[in-house]
Amino acid sequence: MSDARGKAGVSRIDAKFAALRAEGRGALGIFVSAGDPDFETGLAILKGLPGAGADMIEFGMPFTDPMADGPAIQESSQRALKAGMTLTGVLEMVRAFRAGDQDTPMILMGYYNPIYSYGVDRFIEDALASGVDGLIVVDLPPEEDRELCLPALARGLGFVRLATPTTDDVRLPAVLKNTAGFVYYVSIMGITGTAEVPTDLVTKAVERLKRHTDLPVCVGFGITTPEQAAGIARCADGAIVGTAVVKTIKASLDHEGRATEATVSDTLGFVRGLADGVRGARRPAPHA
């Protein structure tokens, strides 16, 4: 049994969504960049996320050219890199997190270049040993599955794929073919954190995706408030919030971009508000 597996041989991701279905609610996924604004503060935030209500964590692998991310997440990545974060450091943080939490799904999110430089086989082995459950690599399309996706899946490391408003029914089977864990639906076009999520359109999109896959569908990009998170949690299997979280981190820093006494508490307080919204959102009962 690989280290990406939880109790009874069921992956942490699968186990989490099964538990949430039993509760009748959607998941709250939280994105933070590893090591933002520094290793110690970032680790304190990471360790505090489950207690603040995060059901799963997307852990950003800082990269110098995060082309799919908006300004706020780009800045969070730059802060982490400036503080000395590396891919080795990311995995070290996951190991430290796993020392106190064996249940919360942890998905690494980022770009292929750092993984390629690290070495694909070595990365997969080290990610599993650290306690990583899945990967989101935004610049590897299905046509490049042999690069990372298939080797990862063969070892029991989930590969989560993005679907967008322009992913039509012709393209969708290729996107879903080797997807594992859940499908990440990008609710708006463009880069992260630059527009509000259109809940009515998302509802229709989730319904369409559900006709093509039995995997949970989580929605991200554009969710900034507890009310928006609740709205998404009613129509999808999960709401993922990133930009608003890293903006909260930034707002707590001093004029030189360093952590203050408020950084951890402000960030976790914001996540608690999102979690309250999601937990208060009742989902329609599934059809018999």
pLDDT, tens only, 222-242: 899 999 999 999 999 999 999
- Per-residue pLDDT band for 201 (boundaries 50, 70, 90) equals confident
- Report the pLDDT value the prediction gives residue 194, as an integer from 0 to 100: 44
Catalytic, out of 38, 55, 69, 126: 69
- Which domains, and CATH codes, for the chain? 10-279 (3.20.20.70)
Catalytic, out of 14, 38, 58, 92: 58
- Report the pLDDT value the prediction gives residue 222, as an integer from 0 to 100: 84
pLDDT at 214 over 60: yes
Which of 63, 44, 18 lies closest to 266, judged by CA?
44
| Catalytic (active site) residue 261 | no
Where b means 16+ CB within 10 Å and e means fewer, 244-272 reads bbbbbbbebbeeeeebeeebbebbbebbb
- Report the pLDDT value the prediction gives residue 284, as an integer from 0 to 100: 56
Beta strands, E only, the chain: 27-33, 56-60, 106-110, 134-137, 158-159, 161-163, 183-186, 217-220, 238-241
**Of 201 and 287, more confident:** 201
- Report the pLDDT value the prediction gives residue 68, as an integer from 0 to 100: 75
Average pLDDT over residues 140-167: 94
| Catalytic (active site) residue 58 | yes
Give the model confidence (pLDDT) of 5-25 as tens digits: 433 345 999 999 999 999 999
